[in-house]
Amino acid sequence: MTEVSRRRLLGYSGATLAAGAAAGAGLVSVAQAHEGPSSGNGPVPFFGAHQAGIATPVQDRLHFASFDVVTDDRDRLVRMLKEWTAAGAALTAGHPYGSAAGGLPESPPDDTGEALGLPPARLTLTVGFGPALFGSGGKDRFGVKARRPAPLIDLPHFPGDNLAADRSGGDVCVQACADDPQVAVHAIRNLARIGFGVVAVRWSQLGFGKTSSTTPDQQTPRNMFGFKDGTRNIPGDDHAALDRYVWASAKDGAAWMDGGSYLVARRIRMHIETWDRTSLKEQQDVFGRMKGEGNPYGAPREHDPVPLAKLPADSHVRLAHPDSNGGVRILRRGYSFTDGSDGLGRLDAGLFFIAYQRDPRTQFVTLQNKLAATDHMNEYVQHVGSGIFACPPGVRKGGFWGETLFS
């Protein structure tokens, strides 16, 4: 047997067998483990009306991966999504996908094994589909071109963008969040392995130190500039706000997206060395908040109402505030990143911005047009990567990621 055919056999036949084994032997216990709410370092429910990892309390670590689909075979893509779903249900419950150490000695293990012995660490996996999956250049590879939802636009070029093609776009994305970085990386690694021959990683991003929270009762996290970030984020238990600003509805025009959401990802590089030589007053003017307490100018406490008139006109908080944008809100779920240094010795660090919303046309695009034009912070940041994805609704028991799109 040739190496290529051997890999294909092990990558697909083996994955299919593992999926069957997981479905038959493991998913019953997985489903039982997901009956109750998450607590501590345990599992987050995998099945439900909405995908986990959106309104879920934000974990500490991220591994985000964008994939290109490298086949034109719809059946292979759907089969892979089903296998991904079986794997996702197992991994988020803290189980390996198939055998990690007890299989045939002559064959690679089904699971790569680096998460053996680790708790689930509140792992969530969130899947989305990019614009190109629905066809480009007149080509409809998977018969879904007519089902592309109107909010899934090609994002416009914003002033100041310096986007790298190898850090932007993609047909399918997976957001893995966990409180243990090894658990998150293990999940992406195994989904990529299962998808060999159907998808290939286009780009990926590791993140740490959540920069937004969906749980207001917890301490607001800080970004790489040292400022609190996400003070007025949409709480994960504010169901009215989630319905209005985050969850897509069949009334929006794409019935298959009912209960889903639209993800916008932006890799924002921060000019750390320049910022670190900037006066405290200038830094606070950029945000419109005090660096210590996090309170807005003109208010004594962080969570007090923001007196917008007392903030600099070009401050970030004033420009992004809902009251400055007709009430527009988004659910932020970003992470800090550091990817070593560039060729000039400068830290390659910043914010991997993630936002979920009901319609990017009236939410993210509206906000970013204003910020890109006049935000004082633009002197210290640059957007270098970008992606937009339609995240379908949650997985029902017995279903699979993307079932509403491909059924």
pLDDT reading at 56 higher than 70? yes
- Per-residue confidence band for 34, with pLDDT thresholds at 50, 70 and 90: very low
pLDDT reading at 11 higher than 90? no
What burial class does residue 353 get, using C-beta atoms within 10 Å of its C-beta: 0-12 exposed, 13-18 middle, 19+ buried? buried
Please report whether residue 234 resides in a domain. Answer: no
pLDDT reading at 17 higher than 80? no
Write down the mean pLDDT value for the chain. Answer: 90
pLDDT reading at 27 higher than 70? no
Please report whether residue 181 resides in a domain. Answer: yes
| The pLDDT value given to residue 284 | 98
Please report whether residue 205 resides in a domain. Answer: yes
Please report whether residue 22 resides in a domain. Answer: no
Please report whether residue 155 resides in a domain. Answer: no
> How many structural domains are present in the chain?
1
Write out the residue range of the structural domain in which residue 338 sits. Answer: 61-98+109-135+169-214+241-405
Please report whether residue 141 resides in a domain. Answer: no
Q: Which residue, 149, 130, 160, 154, is CA-closest to 369?
A: 160
In angstroms, the Cα distances linking 68 to 90, 129, 136, 274, 386 are 24, 10, 13, 36, 15
pLDDT reading at 4 higher than 50? no
Please report whether residue 231 resides in a domain. Answer: no
Mean pLDDT, rounded, for 167-173: 98
Please report whether residue 249 resides in a domain. Answer: yes
pLDDT reading at 179 higher than 80? yes
